[in-house]
């Protein structure tokens, strides 16, 4: 046996050995869920002689699936490749690629993201002459809400008959589904819903899944929605060997359909279900767990459990009250500098977590000033950049000729003088003849029924597509993309000397490199495999272990852990969010805070600002109720009192207060120094207004203003490349020009 059951504690061992029938494990944060799952799967293969082909392990992120796959490859190297370890969506894509033609789709379907969804909804609203301002967001949210519950437009209308604009919303929903079908496309919710439809309507597909997946493991079970839960029930119905691991205290996706009550439903719906509880935490110190235990006990809809650890009490949790968001960011970044300079931590050990991505700007600016490498997650993703989306749209059309949304994006890129009128004529002709628009374009030269002006405008684009389809037949993915970039003349199009053009070319080169890497790592994969990977991509997949500070929303940090965590913006109206309108909403916000706290392994810092500029105005802010509930500050603390207590940070840094004695883009944005930025001891007198300076990233600039704040000297520099940036002279890698 290449793994040891002795590595498990008594709580973990019991469910690992309980291999037949339904098992539910309610596992607290940091309790070793991945270890539990991998050991159970390895035990099934090596001790129970289960064929790896018959094992399914489902989790919610690509990162978690990859980690599980790597661990199992080390434990049972000759067997891990035979089993399916994937996310729900990836599993559904795999099933649909095999069977979807049985319910009226082509197997080369496209997967639409939020951009395509919004564009289609807007077009429907415009065509129906409805009030766009009122309906776009409502319709998009409602369509997803309906699909998460497995409801058709008619069923959704019946369930929500008193909802404002419900008639219009259901009309839009119905038209939206028709447009997807015309484009041979599915959105993310459809991947689940259409798989459910397939398995309920096609007995061969259901039997295939049931006979293949005799042992089913589901991680993060609290995050399943109605359709996902039913998929597990359908596939697991024949053999009943379903192993569910979850923690209702970490259900934070209610807004997208997750229902933590599925944990309670599981015990009723799977006959003879056994329940196990994991409370020992391997991640955090006891002080951090005490705060987590205290806050989550205020929730009523949960299974009782109390996290504990052998890791020791650890450092006290610290708290800082700032006067403004700038002061808050200054305190956090100074604290980071102190921790890293002391040598105990690297930048990659540290995360700044927040409830709203909108809070990230002040922290990003301050990290930039200090030359600290950082990356933002839960924000703008690499594959959402225009130049990358344009290339992906070409690839989508090559993979699925019926994808008219992708076609409309590229038909005039680069510019070919093809306007909305020409596109409308092509669409109308396609509708009349029963063809898709791509087929009309490919046959444009021999088509006598379209005006000569349309034929002339489209001819060049038609020739380009013909050439690319031919390349696709005979070449690999990388060569296809390389030829595409060349054929579009992107090096000429983005050949300007401005920063924007240089960045776009850099992103295109990086995209080419990612395609090559995918092709080398996935022998035999084709274009549809690559497009599937991109469609199901998450920005946290970019976490590569490089040395940078992570800035993330709490939602995007789920499943991650860091030695040092700063939870910022802890104010009423932000965390918990202002739009709470029920006790259930408040309980989810509390679970979100619990998740944030339990990301920390060794040090936890909490901050709030007494005033904040947000949504266009400055407001007085009040600390979140969660701070007192968690015991991070005692009930007797006056929030308007002193902000400074003793600390281990640099003398110039605003410091945190300890808790009460009994309380518990695809590359880093800036250059990556080898160590924490050292405070410069050199003479700074030459950094005056008008002085020319040189920065290793931004190039040459001129100082336009100098100021003293927080015991540090700052210079506002006007750079030719990026405009005005304020830099901390004590730390920034700035040199005077001779």
Q: Could you list the active site residues?
A: 33-34, 219-220, 250, 599
Which strands form 242-246's sheet, in the order they lie side by side?
A: 84-87, 55-59, 215-218, 242-246, 23-27, 274-278
- Single out the residue of 367, 366, 407 nearest to residue 390, CA to CA: 407
Q: H/E element holding 286?
A: helix 286-296
Running DSSP on this structure, what letter comes out for residue 734? -
Contact 254, 584 (CB under 8 A): yes
Could you tell me the two tokens for 226?
């109605």
- Single out the residue of 292, 219, 251 nearest to residue 32, CA to CA: 219
502-506: long-range contacts at Cβ-Cβ below 8 A with a sequence spacing of 24 or more? Answer: 504/385, 504/386, 504/387
What is the rounded distance in angstroms from the CA atom of residue 42 to the CA atom of residue 536? 27
User: Which residue, chain included where needed, has tokens 């991650």?
Assistant: 560
Which class for 691: exposed (0-12), middle (13-18), buried (19 or more C-beta within 10 A)?
Answer: middle
Contact 508, 485 (CB under 8 A): yes
Running DSSP on this structure, what letter comes out for residue 696? T
Instruction: Give the list of residues 6+ apart from residue 280 with CB closer than 8 angstroms, or none.
Output: 9, 11, 31, 32, 307, 308, 309, 310
How large is the C-alpha radius of gyration of the chain?
A: 28
DSSP, residue by residue, 452-463: HHHHHHHHHHHH
Contact 640, 352 (CB under 8 A): no
- Single out the residue of 164, 186, 168, 163 nearest to residue 125, CA to CA: 168
Running DSSP on this structure, what letter comes out for residue 5? G
Q: Give buried/exposed letters for 156-168 (b at 16+ CB in 10 A, else e).
A: bbeebeeeebbeb
Name beta bridge partners: 245: 25
């Amino acid at each position: 046996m290449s793994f040891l059951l002795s590595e498990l504690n008594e709580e973990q061992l019991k469910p690992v050995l309980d291999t037949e029938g339904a098992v539910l494990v309610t596992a607290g944060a940091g309790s070793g869920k991945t270890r539990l799952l991998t050991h159970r799967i390895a035990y099934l293969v090596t001790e129970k002689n289960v064929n790896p082909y018959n094992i399914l392990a489902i989790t919610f992120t690509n990162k978690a699936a990859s980690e599980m796959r790597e661990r199992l490859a080390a434990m049972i190297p000759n067997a891990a490749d035979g089993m399916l370890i994937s996310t729900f969506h990836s599993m559904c894509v795999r099933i649909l690629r095999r069977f979807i033609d049985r319910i009226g789709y082509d197997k080369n379907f496209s997967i639409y993201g939020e951009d395509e969804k919004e564009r289609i909804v807007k077009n429907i609203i415009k065509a129906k002459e409805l009030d766009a301002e009122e309906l776009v967001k409502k319709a998009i949210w409602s369509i997803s809400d309906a699909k998460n519950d497995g409801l058709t437009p008619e069923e959704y209308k019946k369930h929500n008959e008193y909802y404002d604009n419900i008639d219009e919303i259901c009309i839009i929903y119905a038209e939206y589904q028709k447009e997807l079908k015309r484009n041979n496309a599915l959105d993310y919710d459809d991947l689940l819903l259409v798989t459910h439809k397939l398995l309920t309507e096609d007995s061969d597909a259901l039997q295939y899944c049931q006979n293949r997946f005799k042992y089913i493991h589901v991680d993060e079970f609290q995050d399943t929605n109605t359709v996902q839960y039913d998929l597990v029930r359908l596939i697991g119905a024949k053999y009943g060997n379903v192993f569910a691991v979850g923690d209702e205290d970490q259900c934070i996706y209610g807004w997208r359909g997750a229902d933590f009550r599925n944990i309670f439903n599981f015990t009723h719906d799977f006959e003879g279900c056994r329940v196990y509880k994991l409370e020992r935490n391997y991640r955090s110190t006891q002080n951090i767990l005490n705060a987590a235990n205290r806050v989550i006990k205020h929730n009523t809809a949960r299974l009782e459990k109390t996290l504990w650890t052998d890791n020791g009490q650890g450092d006290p949790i610290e708290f800082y009250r700032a006067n403004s968001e700038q002061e808050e960011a200054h305190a956090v970044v100074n604290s980071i500098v102190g921790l890293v300079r002391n040598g105990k931590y690297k930048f990659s050990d540290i995360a700044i977590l927040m409830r709203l991505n909108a809070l990230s700007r002040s922290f990003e600016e301050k990290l930039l000033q200090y030359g600290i490498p950082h990356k933002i997650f839960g924000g703008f993703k690499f594959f959402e950049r225009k130049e990358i989306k344009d290339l992906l749209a070409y690839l989508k059309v090559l993979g699925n000729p019926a994808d008219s949304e992708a076609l409309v994006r590229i038909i005039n890129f680069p510019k070919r003088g093809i306007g909305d009128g020409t596109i409308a004529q092509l669409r109308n002709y396609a509708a009349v003849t029963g063809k898709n628009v791509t087929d009309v374009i490919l046959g444009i030269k021999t088509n006598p029924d379209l005006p000569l002006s349309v034929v002339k405008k489209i001819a060049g684009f038609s020739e380009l597509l013909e050439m690319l389809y031919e390349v696709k037949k005979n070449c690999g993915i990388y060569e296809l993309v390389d030829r595409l970039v060349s054929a579009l003349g992107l090096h000429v199009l983005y050949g300007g000397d401005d920063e924007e053009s240089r960045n776009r070319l850099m992103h295109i080169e990086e995209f080419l490199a990612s395609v090559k890497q995918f092709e080398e790592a996935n022998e035999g994969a084709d274009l549809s495999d690559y497009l599937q990977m991109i469609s199901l991509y998450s920005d946290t997949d970019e976490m590569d272990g490089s040395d940078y500070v992570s800035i993330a929303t709490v939602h995007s940090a789920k499943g991650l852990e860091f030695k040092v965590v700063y939870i910022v913006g802890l104010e009423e109206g932000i965390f918990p969010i202002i739009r709470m309108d029920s006790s259930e909403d408040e309980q989810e916000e509390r679970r979100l805070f619990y998740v944030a706290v339990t990301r920390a392994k060794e040090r936890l810092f909490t901050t709030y600002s007494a005033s904040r500029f947000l949504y266009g105005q400055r407001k007085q802010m009040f600390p979140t109720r969660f701070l007192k509930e968690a015991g991070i500050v005692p009930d007797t603390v006056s929030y308007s009192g002193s902000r400074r207590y003793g600390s281990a940070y640099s003398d110039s840094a605003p410091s945190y207060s300890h808790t009460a004695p009994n309380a518990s883009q695809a590359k880093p944005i800036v250059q990556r120094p080898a160590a924490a930025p050292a405070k410069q001891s050199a003479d700074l007198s030459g950094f005056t207004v008008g002085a020319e300076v040189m920065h290793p990233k931004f190039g040459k600039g001129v100082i336009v203003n100098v100021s003293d704040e927080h015991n540090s000297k700052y210079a506002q520099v006007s750079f030719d490349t990026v405009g005005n940036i304020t830099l901390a002279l004590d730390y920034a890698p700035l040199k005077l020009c001779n």
